[in-house]
Amino acid sequence: MSSHPNLIKQAYSDAEQSKYSAKKFESKAL
């Protein structure tokens, strides 16, 4: 079913990156 595993991996890493950035931003805001 995974015809584009790299694409999925990229999207996943992007999500992780934004999650991490949001956490960093939150701690900075506090």
CA distance 18 to 1: 26
Sign of CA dihedral 21, 26, 29, 30: negative
Q: Which two tokens stand for residue 30?
A: 């506090």
pLDDT digits (tens, 9 = 90+) for 4-24: 789 889 999 999 999 999 999
pLDDT (0 to 100) of residue 1: 55
CA distance 8 to 6: 5
Higher per-residue pLDDT: 30 or 13: 13
With contact defined as beta carbons under 8 Å apart, do 2 and 8 qualify?
A: yes
